[in-house]
Amino acid sequence: MSILLTIYFLALLTFLGIFSFALYRVWLFSQHKEIAGKSMLVATGFIFVAGVIVFVSFIGLSQFVWNDDPGYYLEFLKGLFNQRS
């Protein structure tokens, strides 16, 4: 289990949760045609940009084999500790 990937996906889930709530607020607002304006259009733009960022990030993530399990970091810390002592 990759620690970095776990952290990234947790952050991604948090982002998606807050973003979804914000989109829900925009949708509620857009139900009132008198004041909706271009809210849905702008929200669609933001969804697109978010999609591009996530897509590009996944392309970069797929370049690696994510083998940074907890054992790797323990060894890394051990090595650091041994160097100091």
Q: Which of 13, 44, 56, 80 binds another protein (CB under 8 A)?
A: 56
Is residue 49 within the footprint of another protein (CB under 8 A)?
Answer: yes
Q: Which of 65, 82, 84, 85 binds another protein (CB under 8 A)?
A: 65
- Contact by Cβ (8 Å): 73, 31: no
Q: Which of 1, 35, 81, 85 binds another protein (CB under 8 A)?
A: 35
Residue 64 neighbours by CB distance under 10 Å: 11
Query: In this structure, what are the phi and psi dihedrals at residue 74, rounded to the nearest 5 degrees?
Result: -65, -45
Using CA atoms, how far apart are residues 54 and 60, in angstroms rounded to an integer?
Answer: 10
- Contact by Cβ (8 Å): 4, 73: no
Give the interface with another protein as residue ranges (CB under 8 A).
2, 4-5, 7-8, 11-12, 15, 18-19, 21-22, 25-26, 28-29, 31-32, 34-35, 37, 39, 42-43, 46, 49-50, 52-54, 56-57, 59-61, 63-68, 72
